[in-house]
């Protein structure tokens, strides 16, 4: 009897992150947001998107992001996966209280924000080098 390999299903490591979901091409921030919520409108413009909290899980062949949910919602939680061979470079930019991890792909850059991510980034770079 062939049983599935249990290590293939288990992540190598997990790390809490926030993913920068970019604004759609040509999106304009509505005037009402600038009037009612000027600070959030400024951050939306500055970052070019919305930060979504979640967890990054590193598997042998992919990196998976899953949104964490505090309350129930009708919209499904965001989840995506990046195949490791598609990641050409991993760049960490240090901030005052956090770090931005840039995952470079041929046609886009995926940004994650985290704290104390040295071990996670090291394992991610090792996994990319093996593929």
pLDDT tier at 53 (50, 70, 90 boundaries)?
Answer: very high
Query: What are the distances in angstroms from CA 30 to CA 27, 49, 52?
Result: 9, 14, 20
**What percent of the chain shows pLDDT beyond 90?**
53
Examine the pLDDT at 7 and tell me if it is beyond 60: no
Q: Is 86 helix (H, G, I), strand (E, B) or coil?
A: helix
Give me the residue spans of the domains in the chain: 12-130
Spell out where 3-124 has E strands: 13-22, 49-58, 62-67, 79-83, 89-94, 99-104, 109-114
Residue 99 has which token pair? Answer: 């770090």
The strand order across the sheet containing 99-104 reads 79-83, 62-67, 49-58, 13-22, 109-114, 99-104, 89-94
Examine the pLDDT at 70 and tell me if it is beyond 50: yes
How is residue 85 annotated by DSSP?
G
For 11-27, the pLDDT digits (tens) are 999 999 999 988 878 87
Count of beta carbons in the 10 Å neighbourhood of residue 125: 14
The CATH code of the domain at 12-130 is 2.30.29.30
């Amino acid at each position: 009897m062939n049983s599935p390999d249990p290590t293939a299903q288990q992540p190598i490591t997990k790390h809490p992150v926030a993913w920068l979901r970019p604004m759609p091409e040509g999106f304009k921030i509505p005037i009402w947001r600038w009037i009612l919520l000027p600070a959030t409108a400024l951050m939306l413009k500055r970052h070019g998107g919305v930060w979504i909290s979640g967890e990054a899980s590193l598997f042998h062949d992919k990196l998976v992001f899953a949104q964490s949910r505090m309350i129930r919602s009708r919209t499904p939680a965001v989840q995506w996966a990046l195949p490791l061979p598609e990641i050409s470079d991993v760049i960490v930019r240090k901030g005052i209280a956090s770090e931005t991890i840039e995952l470079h792909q041929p046609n886009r850059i995926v940004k994650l924000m985290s704290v104390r991510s040295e071990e996670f980034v090291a394992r991610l770079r090792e996994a990319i080098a093996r593929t």
